[in-house]
A and B are shown apart, each in its own frame.
Chain A
């Protein structure tokens, strides 16, 4: 089945540590997105990528980094500069260039501080 796979489902970070969240899709989508979700809040955009080797900052990019070396993959690194990383992280993808196509989401990674 086609879909978006996020791993791991749960992740713990120590002080001063960088951690990387994986996002893989087999939907042949060009565009991929990372969102952060805090309790009782909507989804906030961290980074997005429309094409391989290109990405842009979203609304809350500070303390995060991404890469897009393959169409299928868009990993997110939560760096030690992100002082409040505890949240639910969601990856999404969609077709680029087709008007108003929906975003499809993975099942998220829950990141906590040790």
Chain B
């Protein structure tokens, strides 16, 4: 089955700097890669996703890149703000997996003023 590894587990950045979180996946058949943000005591919220036919996607300060050959994808947050502090999860899904997602272990991002 699919296995997703996520690094780093914690990330501390100064406000205004960029944050990068990286994930690798094992199943070359995976074709959908969402990123979720989870605040304390809340459920994960989808922030951006990318499909395997696209190499990069951007939404304001957030971007995701996908390298299918290397089987890794990354989340980039620019001009970080204190409200970006949260746990971020990557996930991967194959077309025949009944919609099931395989999640990474999460990255705790702390943005310090």
Q: Contact residues of B with A, CB < 8 Å?
A: 4, 6, 9, 31-32, 34, 36, 41-46, 49, 51, 89, 93, 95, 98-101, 103-106
A6 to B55, CA, bound (A): 36
Check A108 against B43 for contact (C-beta < 8 Å): yes
8 Å CB contact of A48 from B46, B89, B98, B106: B98
Q: Which 10 A-B pairs have the closest CB atoms?
A: A105-B43, A42-B103, A100-B32, A43-B103, A42-B105, A107-B43, A102-B46, A105-B44, A31-B99, A106-B43
Q: Which of B44, B46, B93, B100 has the most CB of A within 10 A?
A: B44
**Could you say which residues of chain A place their CB within 8 Å of the CB of B49?**
100, 102
CB distance from B109 to the nearest CB of A (A): 14
Q: Is A104 an interface residue (CB 8 A)?
A: yes
A48 to B101, CA, bound (A): 11
Check A103 against B99 for contact (C-beta < 8 Å): yes
**Could you say which residues of chain A place their CB within 8 Å of the CB of B95?**
99
A45 to B1, CA, bound (A): 13
**Could you say which residues of chain A place their CB within 8 Å of the CB of B36?**
105
CB distance from A94 to the nearest CB of B (A): 6
**Could you say which residues of chain B place their CB within 8 Å of the CB of A110?**
41
Q: Which of A101, A102, A106 has the most CB of B within 10 A?
A: A102
